[in-house]
Amino acid sequence: MGVPFAVVGFFLSASFGVLARQAGFSVAQASVTAMIVFAGSAQFAALSVLTAGGGIPAALTAGSLMNARFLAMGIALAPSLPGGRMKRALQGQTVVDSSWALANRGDGTFDRWLLFGTTLPQYVTWTLGSVVGAVFGDVLGDTHRLGLDAIYPVFFLSLLFSELRDAGSRWAALGGGLLALALVPITPPGVPVLAASVVALVGLVRRSR
């Protein structure tokens, strides 16, 4: 199930490689970023700060804010992970948006093997993509014109549609989406998506009659 995402990830990571080279990264630096950061939105956010002339603290802040949603995802996932603190921390590293959503059973628990299994191919292609992009960036040119940025939202939409099981989840999706959009003009990028997770707290009142 992670394979279509892995294919998409390859192209996105390749476009990261191209942009990183343009921002002054070496081929090794662009590839190592994909390998050890392995968080697309954070990588692109940090890079766009650099390109706009920002410094290291601003780039780290922008990247971490994009990553902030992983806090919410990690909290949701936590009870489904066995083992000691160290082992759980390691398993938590395998979270990426698509694998987290796929491993979600819909009852608040997660299939951790599905999580690991869908992340692994994505890690491989994410790494390969960045190398290809960094090395062959000059040939590919401007990847923006290829329309690849339309891919991820469509994949997330298909995951979202399968999550809309009942009225509760439909209202949560609507509320979360609208809250995130409302926050866009008044908070730094990344914050709106994290803040949207607050809407899930309606789970507290539902069914507690």
Piece of the chain touching other proteins by CB under 8 A; list 116-124, 128-136, 142-150:
142-150
| Euclidean distance between CA atoms 103 and 96, whole angstroms | 11
Interface with other proteins includes 3 (CB under 8 A)? no
Piece of the chain touching other proteins by CB under 8 A; list 105-113, 122-130, 131-139:
105-113
Cα-Cα-Cα-Cα torsion 200, 96, 155, 122, nearest 10 degrees, comes to -170
CB of 2 to other proteins, least distance (A): 13
| Euclidean distance between CA atoms 41 and 53, whole angstroms | 19
| Euclidean distance between CA atoms 193 and 38, whole angstroms | 19
Q: Which residues pair with 104 in a beta bridge?
A: 110
Nearest to 16 by CA among 119, 111, 189, 140: 140
Interface with other proteins includes 21 (CB under 8 A)? no
Judged by CB under 8 A, the chain residues 147 through 206 that form the site for other proteins are: 147-161, 163-164, 168-170, 172-181, 184-185, 187-189, 192-193, 196-197, 199-204, 206
Position among 12, 14, 19, 89 found at the interface with other proteins (CB under 8 A): 89
Interface with other proteins includes 145 (CB under 8 A)? yes
Position among 63, 121, 129, 133 found at the interface with other proteins (CB under 8 A): 63
Query: What are the CA-CA distances from residue 94 to residues 5, 73, 99, 120 (Å)?
Result: 14, 11, 8, 8
Residue with Cβ nearer other proteins (117 or 189): 189
Nearest to 189 by CA among 59, 10, 74: 59
CB of 118 to other proteins, least distance (A): 14
